[in-house]
Amino acid sequence: MVESTNQLKALVAPMELRRGPQAPYQRGLGGLTDHLTAMPEGKTPLWWWILFLPAAFCAAVVLPSMLTYLISTGVGVWGNNVPVAWGWDIINFVWWVGVAHAGTLISAMLFLTRQHWRAAIGRAAEAMTVFAVMCAGLYPAVHVGRVWFAWWLFPIPLTTGMWPQFRSPLMWDVFAVNTYLIVSSLFWYMGLIPDLALLRDRAKTRVRKFLYGLFALGWTGSARQWHHYEKAYLVLSGLATLLVFTVSSIVGMDFATSQLAGWHETIFPFYFVAGAVFCGFGMVLVLLIPLRKWCHLEDIITLRHIDRVCKMTLMMGCVMGYIYVMEYFIAWYSGSPYDAWVFGHRLFGHYYWFGGWIMIGVNALLPQLFWLKKVRQNLPLIFIIAVLINIGMWFERFTIIVGSLYQDFLPSSWHPFYPTWVDACTFLGTLGVFFTMYLLFVRFLPMIAVSEVKAITPQADPHHPLGGAKGGHP
């Protein structure tokens, strides 16, 4: 017996190799709850108003006026024209879908792979997904031109007797984006139910009690409810993980199935998924670095979380670098003069040569700074890199779309692309929608999944002394 205990002791990992706690446990479950509900229950802080008012102005005034102008006049108010028939609308669509992807990857894929640290940032990332997909979905809906016929995209019996053409990836987009919006909203809302019940139980006013209670659906936290809930959460994570790989693949196929040099590439579905996740990680960092400070969540979203997101950003940056190299290699190896032309002009072209340099410099080279631990712990620097990554990924889409379209096969149809002020204001409007929604979410809902974070504390483990276990080892 003594011998076996000694053997067991020998098996215990040395101190420096043991894992730290996944969540802070000095406070206990009650203290943790008070801390995490402070933002939705407290007074509105000043910084919130300073950010919210301009964002709400863009969302409530700028965007509706731009859309009214666009729909009443025509798509010509944008810079789109032949040969560049896809301009900022599709660039921004792809960019927003990309921003969304990292949220699903963090909340669903890291759940399936049992990365418990994701509990602290999963909710915030998933909210980012839902709001980004809303902004993304707006663009294809309004860029069709005659918006009042957009319902023809759905398979509804018409008097013309015609049906949608299901061979077209543009058709698949309609289904993919709507599916993504519905599934990520369901996933996000389901995760919220136990926390809505928490806010209901703590509510001081009747209005709050009624509203939180209504959306909590009558959650009591019984073992039977948790049993079905956990299963549903697992199934939804599996399905949302599928969407991480499919939605941007389908967006990539919109391009890849065309005949255009610079678009007609088999790597595109993977390319778009990688770019989407990469861009989304940038947005996660942009949102979380200020919010963890302003909402006093430094010990919930710790430097270790930021460090891990930085490492994943680094990995995706390397994947982007690989894809860029591969694109150039294939452009040369294919022997197609059109491909060689497009890719040569991405770096040394007539109008948009800067796009290629920004793309390679920001997306492939800049993240290499994350190899250094000092950079991964320097929050202002990470924030700047993350903002640049978002800008870099926007220019990547610009380079792919405009850079390939404006000089296609026939020199007689070449024409440069210039965006208009309507393009810029529409984009500003969608940014306003995103940040308005996000700020409302941070203010009125728990941006940290309280029940999930509690579940990974030692106090929640019935086999841990802090969880009440008798004679267990720490």
Q: Is-contact 383 436, C-beta < 8 A? A: no
CB atoms within 10 A of CB 44: 11
Q: Is-contact 143 91, C-beta < 8 A? A: no
Residue 380 half-sphere exposure, CB side, CA atoms within 13 Å? 0
Q: Tell me the per-residue interface mask from 189 to 228 with other proteins, x by CB under 8 A, - otherwise.
A: -x---x--xx-xxx----------xx--xxxxxxxxxxxx
Looking at the Cβ atoms of 164 and 290, the one nearer to other proteins is: 164
Looking at the Cβ atoms of 141 and 391, the one nearer to other proteins is: 141
Residues numbered 68-107 forming contacts with other proteins, rule: CB under 8 A: none
> Which one of 120-128, 306-314, 324-332, 448-456 is the stretch in contact with other proteins (CB under 8 A)?
448-456
Q: Which residues contact 473 (CB under 8 A, 6 or more apart)?
A: none
Q: Tell me the per-residue interface mask from 163 to 182 with other proteins, x by CB under 8 A, - otherwise.
A: xxxxx-x-xx--xx-xx--x
Q: Tell me the per-residue interface mask from 353 to 392 with other proteins, x by CB under 8 A, - otherwise.
A: ----------------------------------------
- Least Cβ distance, residue 288 to other proteins (angstroms): 23
Residues that bind other proteins (rule: CB under 8 A) add up to a total of 69
Q: Is-contact 81 416, C-beta < 8 A? A: no
Question: Using the rule CB under 8 A, which residue among 133, 142, 243, 389 binds other proteins?
Answer: 243
- Least Cβ distance, residue 246 to other proteins (angstroms): 7
CB atoms within 10 A of CB 146: 10
- Say whether the peptide bond before residue 269 is cis (omega within 30 degrees of 0): no
Looking at the Cβ atoms of 225 and 378, the one nearer to other proteins is: 225
Residue 229 interacting with other proteins (CB under 8 A): yes
Cα separation, 434 vs 59, in Å, equals 8
Looking at the Cβ atoms of 347 and 469, the one nearer to other proteins is: 469
Cα separation, 208 vs 202, in Å, equals 9
Residue 21 interacting with other proteins (CB under 8 A): no
Handedness of CA 415, 421, 422, 427 (dihedral sign): positive
Question: Using the rule CB under 8 A, which residue among 232, 325, 372, 424 binds other proteins?
Answer: 232
- 3-state DSSP assignment of residue 331: helix
Residue 339 interacting with other proteins (CB under 8 A): no
Spacing of C-alpha 129 from chain mean position = 4
- 3-state DSSP assignment of residue 446: coil
Looking at the Cβ atoms of 78 and 212, the one nearer to other proteins is: 212
Question: Using the rule CB under 8 A, which residue among 14, 20, 337, 462 binds other proteins?
Answer: 462
Cα separation, 318 vs 311, in Å, equals 11
- Least Cβ distance, residue 51 to other proteins (angstroms): 30
Looking at the Cβ atoms of 130 and 385, the one nearer to other proteins is: 130
Q: Tell me the per-residue interface mask from 29 to 58 with other proteins, x by CB under 8 A, - otherwise.
A: xx--x-------------------------
Which residue in 117, 302, 273, 100 sits closest to 187, CA to CA?
100
- Least Cβ distance, residue 158 to other proteins (angstroms): 10
Q: Which residues contact 244 (CB under 8 A, 6 or more apart)?
A: 101, 104, 105, 108, 109, 273, 277
Largest CA distance in the chain: 89
Residues numbered 244-273 forming contacts with other proteins, rule: CB under 8 A: 246, 250
Looking at the Cβ atoms of 337 and 462, the one nearer to other proteins is: 462
Spacing of C-alpha 64 from chain mean position = 24
Q: Token match 């806010």: residue?
A: 199
Cα separation, 137 vs 115, in Å, equals 30
Question: Using the rule CB under 8 A, which residue among 49, 230, 296, 322 binds other proteins?
Answer: 230
Cα separation, 135 vs 96, in Å, equals 7
- Least Cβ distance, residue 112 to other proteins (angstroms): 14
Looking at the Cβ atoms of 9 and 228, the one nearer to other proteins is: 228
Handedness of CA 77, 78, 84, 85 (dihedral sign): negative
Q: Token match 């215990």: residue?
A: 12
Q: Tell me the per-residue interface mask from 139 to 158 with other proteins, x by CB under 8 A, - otherwise.
A: ----------------x---
Looking at the Cβ atoms of 240 and 297, the one nearer to other proteins is: 240
Residues that bind other proteins (CB under 8 A): 28-30, 33, 155, 161-167, 169, 171-172, 175-176, 178-179, 182-183, 186-187, 190, 194, 197-198, 200-202, 213-214, 217-232, 235-236, 239-240, 242-243, 246, 250, 451-452, 454-455, 459-463, 467-470
